[in-house]
């Protein structure tokens, strides 16, 4: 028992190594940019303002991703005492499934296993809600689980997926700002237009590291933005959810605008901030109309439609596009 407990503690400690590495890189990049480049040497004050703006949003979203506890199924998805005792006594798999099906009739569940059975988690002793999966690292079922990310030492799921996407976005912007503002000094050092100093190593290495991280993070961000637009998780992208009439990779897609609103919320003013604004409770999700009761679907869609009227209007989209263009121009003026 003691060795097992010690190994578990060591494993938990080692899980923080990637997080520590990222924080050390952030700390060094701050020193190289602010101290070696801006304060002591070469660049302009407004570079510092832009740098600290994106650094703040980057760290804010990163730490929200790390410290947001993964959401787990509520007690409503556990077996009642009588059914639980019957399930544990029963050895025949088909009878166990009948018990689970009886309980699942009263739950908002539309997905099944590949064999058509009710999805039940034995370690957690709960019927899995749609899009919920068991994480062996966190040792719990996670609502709308996307993946377990070692770089945040946490499961990315319903409770923090928005934060994770924003973390990727601000990480890419942070690296882009560094590359865009450092490249001129990088070229001058490379061509020896500036004198040899100890700052040369920091500036040259800072550009290479920022460019490398920008390319890798941007590719991951692009993939997750594609998933948001399709209303899929990483797990569902590799293994389509199975409904009563078979697998359907687009089973939870409600159209682009509603898919985006499910993650970022129905108020655009909350989109860019790592504050909770996702829609729903993580236990039930609208599936495509062929899979659910039409009256229920129409009722929910009408309710969501009222909240989203005007939300994706041309005026709103033009406002966001104009803001984005202004930021790009600021970087290169």
Which tokens sit at 296? 């229920």
Which tokens sit at 5? 């407990």
Q: Is 326 helix (H, G, I), strand (E, B) or coil?
A: helix
What residues does 134 pair with on adjacent strands?
141
Buried b (16+ CB within 10 A) or exposed e, 121-160: beebebbbbbbbbbbeebebbbbbbbbbbeebbbbbbbbb
- Is 138 an annotated catalytic residue? no
User: Can you tell me the distance from the alpha carbon of 28 to that of 22, in angstroms, rounded to the nearest whole number?
Assistant: 10
Say if residues 160 and 65 touch (Cβ distance below 8 Å): yes
DSSP string computed for 162-192: HHHHHHHHHHHHHHHHHHHHHHHHHHHHHTT
Which tokens sit at 80? 């009642």
What residues does 135 pair with on adjacent strands?
140
Q: Which of 132, 135, 141, 149 is catalytic?
A: 149
CA angle in degrees (0–180, nearest 5) for 171-177-181: 155
Helix 81-89 × helix 93-104 angle, to 10°? 160
Please list the active-site residues: 149
């Amino acid at each position: 028992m003691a060795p097992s407990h010690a190994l578990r503690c060591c494993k938990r400690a080692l899980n923080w190594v990637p997080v520590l590495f990222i924080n050390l890189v952030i700390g060094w990049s701050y020193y190289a940019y602010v101290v070696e480049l801006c304060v002591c040497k070469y660049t302009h004050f407004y570079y510092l303002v832009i740098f600290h703006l994106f650094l703040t949003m980057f760290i804010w979203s990163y730490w929200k991703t790390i410290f947001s506890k993964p959401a787990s199924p509520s007690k409503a998805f556990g077996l009642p005492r009588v059914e639980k005792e019957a399930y544990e006594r029963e050895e025949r798999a088909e009878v166990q499934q009948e018990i689970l099906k009886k309980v699942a009739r009263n739950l908002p569940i539309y997905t099944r296993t590949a064999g058509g059975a009710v999805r039940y988690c034995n370690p957690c002793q709960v019927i899995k809600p749609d899009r919920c999966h068991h994480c062996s690292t966190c040792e719990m079922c996670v609502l709308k689980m996307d993946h377990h990310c070692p770089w945040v030492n946490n499961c990315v799921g319903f409770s923090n997926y928005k934060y994770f996407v924003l973390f990727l976005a601000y990480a890419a912007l942070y690296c882009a700002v560094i590359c865009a503002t450092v490249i001129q000094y990088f070229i001058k050092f490379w061509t020896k237009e500036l004198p040899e100093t100890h700052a040369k190593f920091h500036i040259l290495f800072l550009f290479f590291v920022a460019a490398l991280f920008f390319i890798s993070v941007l590719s991951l961000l692009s993939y997750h933005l594609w998933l948001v637009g399709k209303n899929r998780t990483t797990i569902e992208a590799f293994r389509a959810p199975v409904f009563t009439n078979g697998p359907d990779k687009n089973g939870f897609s409600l159209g682009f605008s509603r898919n985006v609103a499910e993650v970022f919320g129905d108020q655009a003013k909350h989109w860019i901030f790592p504050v909770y604004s996702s829609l729903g409770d993580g236990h039930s999700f609208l599936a495509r109309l062929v899979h659910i009761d039409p009256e229920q679907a129409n009722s929910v869609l009408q309710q969501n439609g009222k909240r989203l009227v005007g939300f994706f209007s041309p005026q709103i989209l033009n406002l966001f596009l104009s803001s984005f263009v202004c930021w790009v121009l600021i970087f290169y003026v």
